[in-house]
Structure 1
Amino acid sequence: MLFFFVQLPMVSRSGYLNSLIFNRRNNGEADAGMSVPIIQLDSLPGGCQTFELVVKFCYGLSVNLTGSNIAPLYCAAHFLEMGEDLKQGNLISRTEAFLSFLMLSSWKDMFRILKNCEAISAWAEELKILERCSESIAWKACMDPQAISCGDDEAQCLNVLTNNFNESKINTKDGAVGSHTEAESNWWFEDVSRLRIDHFIKVINAVKNRGMRSDVIGSCIIKWTEKWLLRIKKNIHDHLNEEPRVTIESLVKVLPTEKDSVCCNFLLHLLKVGMVMNINPELLMVLEKRVALLLESCSAGDLMVKNHHGDKDSVYDANLIIRVVEAYVSCVSSNSISRISVVASVVDEYLALVSMDSNLSVKSFQLLAEALPEAARSCHDRLYRAMDAYLKSHPILTEEERESVCRAMDYHKLSQEARKHAMRNDRLPSNFMVRFILLDHLNMARSMVDDTSRFQRTKTQAFITVSKSPAKNLIRTQKELEIMKQEVKRLKLQLNDLQLCRLELQKKVKRGAR
């Protein structure tokens, strides 16, 4: 855009234009075919709209300063060198005064200023507009005494300040002093969540420096991230776009270090997006380790992270949890006081929740069930229930797949009730049922050696008391073992027949599906 103006009002207030015009004149430069010199300002902060305001100011016309134009105008004044050395009350001092006034008095204008700094980031950074706005927002956010960690004296001062401010508000309707309900600690989240990532990071660092509680900061980061993910979820797999990757890396870096500042579920979502975005491996490892160490204090519901790729994927991302559990095992392998049994319970509950997903693969289920060491579970009842639920929800699995699902289960770590259920459970692989029955009979045989033991004979359903006489005890034991061996052989034959029937049924089901 072209501006035609008389030189004197402009050069008298702008050191930049003054030196530019007079240097060209002294050097004898002239614009070919033009009676007036042409000045091109390509890098003026704010562009044509801002320069128009500068021209108005130089000509003595009224300029309406607002939160939307003050930042570009302030930067343009510095670019054009419109300082007090040229004229009293020049544009730099005028804009500086108004900018300081807004920072002290107006909450909403802080965000208008930051929004308009997006196009002039370099100048705004150099002139410390971003820093000043961030400090102002942080100061106002921390005015809520419940949201800041401070000493008793400071807290008392903040309470007095807040109470005095509230008592000055009069209800004009009934003339009574208005009662004030103390603001929630997250009252400022909504406005901050609209900021661009670099401006948001500056605000978060500012509130950190002012002593804001880590859980409040964590909640603010979660709020911002949720809104950001809603905006970019359609382009989340666009690897050519660097902005999402940089954003995730910035969020990971700015997270409060305190353990309970952010919840496990949020960190899992952040980790998932970070993996999709291929963020820095070191940051990914830091995030992964942080999530892993939270497994001891989270619930199965905290691990539920949905997949969004397609119909063939499982509803929840079990592979993400496998990765985190494996990271946990590597972290606590040398830690004797780890609560790995608690994590095992959480994993078993998670397996039970996701087992009904028809798209959850056998491999994913098996890897998660076997991710923890054997010593992590003293009882396998929960694991058995999860396996049984998975087998029930996936009725057309092959015998080999069923064995893979049940591989982590240990008969000796099942309760008596679970063992009885397992021996009658036709969903289990045939060889598992045979093994369970044999082990059960073996336990019964061992119990006969005990002088005081009693057992119920399977064949006759009659109770036999073991004699205390060694000779009689040996004879009876041998007889009972012979009977049990015959029963085991009979059961093996029956189970083989059942297995053949099952295979035939599976073939028929597959043929029918075709």
Structure 2
Amino acid sequence: MITDGAAMGRKSVGKEYPSHGSVLGGKPNRCVIHPLQSSMVAEALERRNKDWIVRTKDATDLIVQVGDFSFHLHKLAMVSKSGYLRRLAFAERSGEENGSSLKIILEDLPGGTKSFELVVSFCYGGKIDVTATNIAPLYCAATFLEMTEDLQQGNLISKTEAFLSYLMLSSWKDTFQILKSCESVSSWSKELLIVKRCSDAIAWKACIDPKAFATLEEDEAFCLTLLANSHGNLNVEESSEKWWFEDVSTLRIDHFVQVIESIKSRGMKSELVGSCIAHWTVKWFSRITSGFDNLTPKHLAQKLQRITIESLIKMLPMEKNSVSCNFLLHLLKLGLTKQINSEALSKLERRIAFMLEECSVQDLLVKNYGSKDTTYDVGIIIRVVKTYALFALKYSEPRVCIVGRLMDGYLPLIAKDTNLTVDDFKSLAEALPTNARYSDDNLYKAMDMYLLAHPNLTEEERTNVCGAMQYHRLSQDARQHVMKNDRLPLKIVREFMLLEQVKMARSITACESNDHPRTKTRTIMKVTKGLDRGCLTPKREISMIRKEVENMKMQLDQLQTCKVKLQRQVKRCIK
């Protein structure tokens, strides 16, 4: 409590209870500042259009212009408390020689007219009401005008500084209101460390248990209400750690960056820092999509968005699992949309690529919202997987196969999308090296699903879709399915059937007796004989090959049966 005998006047403190899921509600703190003494007391301060006139027994001899407003004042009252005005008044005496008032123009006064009104009232011995919404601009204005203790004890800098410090240390909600008011005096508030001090105060309180804010009886109700209203979808333990997210998400990007840096320096868990950044980003993105950027010229809004996304990427904690892959993919999508710096994009792509081995298919789902777009953004997945492939040669095969299984789970999910282009499907299917899959069965299933969902593809397009599939990497069941699949391009089916014939021919030859050395030659000749069938239509040729394969399969089954019988007879003879 600061009494009238000290630098501050009377003070009223409101209790802090959450409002609408936030701790920023409640009655604001306020302070009434009285100057200890004044060389001149004003009878009244009147406004006439854009002129402010101080009424005293003496005529005014100083005009101070702030923005569009002119203040008709007395030099004695103003220069006795402002070193800056004193220097200007002594430097320019030409006005006095002509018998007219001296005119001073303050072009860059922090807080503008509103702050100067309070300064004038203070200089003339009046009391001024100060709250969290105007204390920062007023403190900056007092510093600008050099209202120091050297000129008069209890001058405005010391009084505003004392109340400013009190609010930062004692009030959570007022600290945020101070930061909000700093937006209008951005450069001064940073230079005077107001933003940093507020950020440090927020960080200090965010890193402690919320029960430390008040008496136990009052604060138990405060915490329970906060947790119930603000984080209804979280369990109690999560809510108790994340209670500060909602309020921090109200900050603009430069203040948010400073708060996050302060929180990091106090040793906050990286997972919580990452979650807070994700929470802020969701709030910020919702403001963009809601059209709030219409208040800003388009080119400035785009520049701000780029700076914001680049700042978010830079501040991400580097610890493993501090942010989710899905959030980073959404951030990458934002970055691509807003055309941010290529270096920042590459940095983000590499980070996501290194996380793929620990991701699930659900982590890769980033929605599109255009009517002609795919349901999920496949383009960013292609970029990330290709980035991973650049480093895959350095990794062991089991590691790379983890990502291969991830893609085999992702491909069927997107294959049914009618808006998915052949090029995108093909790029994703071929992005990983061959050793990323132990088998192409799942890849074949995804290709078949894509062909089923896109029945109007040309023969060339279907061939491109199936280009990554290899015969020798399919299981026997998958190869049998390929032989009967009419959705596949004829070229692929024919090649696979011929390869199946060769495989069976070799198996038959291996099963036959070594007493017939010409058998292998005759069999291979029979298989290769049909390779030159230019007079047949592709479908007729496929049908013929299919029959030959079936016949060879029957022969192979018979040979296998005979082999088993012979083995049994040999065992009996041995016994």
Structure 1's 171 and 341: CA in aligned 2 closer, same or farther, altered over 3 A?
Answer: closer
Structure 1's 164 and 109: CA in aligned 2 closer, same or farther, altered over 3 A?
Answer: closer
Structure 1's 131 and 482: CA in aligned 2 closer, same or farther, altered over 3 A?
Answer: closer
Structure 1's 278 and 356: CA in aligned 2 closer, same or farther, altered over 3 A?
Answer: same
Question: 1:332 touches 1:338 (CA, 8 Å); kept in 2?
Answer: no
Question: Would you say 1:125 and 2:185 are equivalent positions?
Answer: no
Question: 2:494 touches 2:542 (CA, 8 Å); kept in 1?
Answer: no
Once the 2 structures are TM-superposed, how far is the Cα of residue 341 of structure 1 from its aligned partner? 0.7
Poorly superposed stretches of 4+, deviation over 6 Å: 163-166, 475-490
2:484 aligned residue (405, 424, 427): 424
Question: 2:509 touches 2:523 (CA, 8 Å); kept in 1?
Answer: no
Question: 1:288 touches 1:327 (CA, 8 Å); kept in 2?
Answer: yes
Structure 1's 84 and 338: CA in aligned 2 closer, same or farther, altered over 3 A?
Answer: farther
1:70 aligned residue (135, 138, 141): 135
Deviations 1:4-44 (A, max 9, x none): 2333332222222223223333xx44486x73222222211
Identity %: 52
Alpha-carbon distance between aligned partners in 2 of 1:268 and 1:430, rounded to the nearest angstrom: 38
**More deviation in 370-379 or 330-339?**
330-339
Aligned length in residues: 454
* Bigger relative contact order (CA 8 A; separation at least 6): 2
Flag structure 1 segments of 5+ consecutive residues without an equivalent.
Answer: 146-161, 173-180, 452-465, 501-514
Question: 1:103 touches 1:133 (CA, 8 Å); kept in 2?
Answer: yes
Alpha-carbon distance between aligned partners in 2 of 1:14 and 1:329, rounded to the nearest angstrom: 66
Question: Would you say 1:190 and 2:246 are equivalent positions?
Answer: yes
Once the 2 structures are TM-superposed, how far is the Cα of residue 168 of structure 1 from its aligned partner? 5.4
Question: 1:352 touches 1:386 (CA, 8 Å); kept in 2?
Answer: yes
Question: Would you say 1:17 and 2:85 are equivalent positions?
Answer: yes
Alpha-carbon distance between aligned partners in 2 of 1:347 and 1:209, rounded to the nearest angstrom: 38
Structure 1's 83 and 337: CA in aligned 2 closer, same or farther, altered over 3 A?
Answer: farther
1:439 aligned residue (482, 490, 499): 499
Q: For residues 233-244 of structure 1, what are the structure 2 equivalents within 5 Å?
A: 233=289, 241-244=302-305
1:3 match: secondary structure: strand
2:472 aligned residue (412, 424, 444): 412
1:64 match: secondary structure: strand
Structure 1's 13 and 307: CA in aligned 2 closer, same or farther, altered over 3 A?
Answer: same
Once the 2 structures are TM-superposed, how far is the Cα of residue 191 of structure 1 from its aligned partner? 1.2
Deviations 1:416-446 (A, max 9, x none): 2222221111100112112222222322222
1:65 match: secondary structure: strand
Alpha-carbon distance between aligned partners in 2 of 1:348 and 1:138, rounded to the nearest angstrom: 44
Deviations 1:456-475 (A, max 9, x none): xxxxxxxxxx5xx532x557
Question: Would you say 1:333 and 2:393 are equivalent positions?
Answer: yes
2:196 match: secondary structure: helix
Question: Would you say 1:369 and 2:437 are equivalent positions?
Answer: no
- Please name the residue that 1:380 is paired with: 440
2:270 aligned residue (177, 201, 214): 214
The alignment's TM-score, normalised by the length of structure 1, stands at 0.81
Alpha-carbon distance between aligned partners in 2 of 1:88 and 1:11, rounded to the nearest angstrom: 14
1:39 match: secondary structure: strand
Alpha-carbon distance between aligned partners in 1 of 2:97 and 2:493, rounded to the nearest angstrom: 98
1:271 aligned residue (306, 314, 332): 332
Question: Would you say 1:36 and 2:101 are equivalent positions?
Answer: yes
- Please name the residue that 1:7 is paired with: 75
Query: 1:436 is aligned with what amino acid?
Result: F
Alpha-carbon distance between aligned partners in 1 of 2:500 and 2:317, rounded to the nearest angstrom: 54
Once the 2 structures are TM-superposed, how far is the Cα of residue 71 of structure 1 from its aligned partner? 0.1
Alpha-carbon distance between aligned partners in 2 of 1:398 and 1:336, rounded to the nearest angstrom: 39
As a proportion of its length, which structure holds more strand? 2
1:303 aligned residue (361, 364, 369): 364
Question: 1:289 touches 1:331 (CA, 8 Å); kept in 2?
Answer: no
The alignment's TM-score, normalised by the length of structure 2, stands at 0.73
Question: Would you say 1:497 and 2:497 are equivalent positions?
Answer: no
Q: For residues 105-124 of structure 1, what are the structure 2 equivalents within 5 Å?
A: 105-124=170-189
Structure 1's 318 and 163: CA in aligned 2 closer, same or farther, altered over 3 A?
Answer: closer
Deviations 1:386-417 (A, max 9, x none): 10010001001111110000010012111222
Structure 1's 211 and 431: CA in aligned 2 closer, same or farther, altered over 3 A?
Answer: same
Question: 2:133 touches 2:177 (CA, 8 Å); kept in 1?
Answer: yes
Structure 1's 89 and 437: CA in aligned 2 closer, same or farther, altered over 3 A?
Answer: same
Once the 2 structures are TM-superposed, how far is the Cα of residue 480 of structure 1 from its aligned partner? 6.7
Alpha-carbon distance between aligned partners in 2 of 1:479 and 1:336, rounded to the nearest angstrom: 44
Aligned-residue CA RMSD (Å): 3.0
1:334 match: secondary structure: coil
Alpha-carbon distance between aligned partners in 1 of 2:408 and 2:398, rounded to the nearest angstrom: 18
Once the 2 structures are TM-superposed, how far is the Cα of residue 212 of structure 1 from its aligned partner? 0.7
Question: Would you say 1:316 and 2:359 are equivalent positions?
Answer: no
Question: Would you say 1:199 and 2:255 are equivalent positions?
Answer: yes
Structure 1's 338 and 423: CA in aligned 2 closer, same or farther, altered over 3 A?
Answer: closer
1:294 match: secondary structure: helix
Alpha-carbon distance between aligned partners in 1 of 2:341 and 2:494, rounded to the nearest angstrom: 51
Structure 1's 81 and 443: CA in aligned 2 closer, same or farther, altered over 3 A?
Answer: same
Structure 1's 164 and 427: CA in aligned 2 closer, same or farther, altered over 3 A?
Answer: closer
Question: 1:16 touches 1:80 (CA, 8 Å); kept in 2?
Answer: yes
Alpha-carbon distance between aligned partners in 1 of 2:265 and 2:387, rounded to the nearest angstrom: 32
Alpha-carbon distance between aligned partners in 2 of 1:498 and 1:434, rounded to the nearest angstrom: 8
